[in-house]
Amino acid sequence: MIGGVEKKGLWGVLHIYSSPNNAIYQVTDLSNSETIVTKYGKQMVTADKDKPTPYAAMKAMGKIVEVLREKGIAGVDVVVRGPGGHTGPWFPGKAAQAAIKQLVRLNFPIGKISDNTPIAHGGCTPKKTKRKK
C-alpha cells in the first residue's frame, strides 16, 4: 500500500510537463520504457494562447482516463515537472494542478505525486551589468 491506495492491477506513471507556453501529458508503464498515451495542450484547444490553461488540462485528462480505462490501467503515480533550470520558472504552470484535480474528479486512483522540476545550483556566472558613463 502506497499513499493510502492499494496497488492492485496494472499501474502507470503520468508525467506532466507544464510550462507557461504549453503542457504535455504522457503515461508510461512503471519502468518508463513503454508509452501508453500522450496528449498535448494544443490537441485540446484551437488557439495557441489556450495551450497551458486549466481548461485544456481538464480536457486532456478526460481523454487520457478514457484510454487508460480501455487498456486496463488501475491507477497512476504522478510526476510533475516545470521548466526550471537557470532561465525557467522553478514551479510548474497552472495546468499541472488542474490536471491532478481532474484525475481526482474522475475517480481515478493516484498513488503518489512527486515534483521533478530541475533547480539550478551553481552553474555559469550571470552576465554582468553595463555601467553607464
Write out pLDDT tens, residues 54-83.
999 999 999 999 999 999 999 999 999 999
SS3 108: coil
Give the pTM. 0.84
Where is average pLDDT lowest: 43-47, 69-73, 116-120?
Answer: 116-120
CATH class, domain 10-115, is alpha beta
- What are the grid coordinates assigned to 109, written together? 486512483
Q: Where are the domains of the chain?
A: 10-115
State the amino acid at position 133 in one-letter form.
Answer: K
| DSSP string across 18-83 | E-SS-EEEEEEETTS-SEEEEEEHHHH-SSGGGTTSHHHHHHHHHHHHHHHHHHTEEEEEEEEE--
pLDDT digits (tens, 9 = 90+) for 22-36: 999 999 999 999 999
Q: What is the mean pLDDT of the chain?
A: 89
Q: Percent helix, strand, coil in the chain (nearest 5)?
A: 30, 30, 40
The continuous run of DSSP H or E covering 50 comes out as none
Q: Is the pLDDT of residue 4 over 90?
A: no
What's the CA gap between 78 and 100, in Å, rounded?
Answer: 8
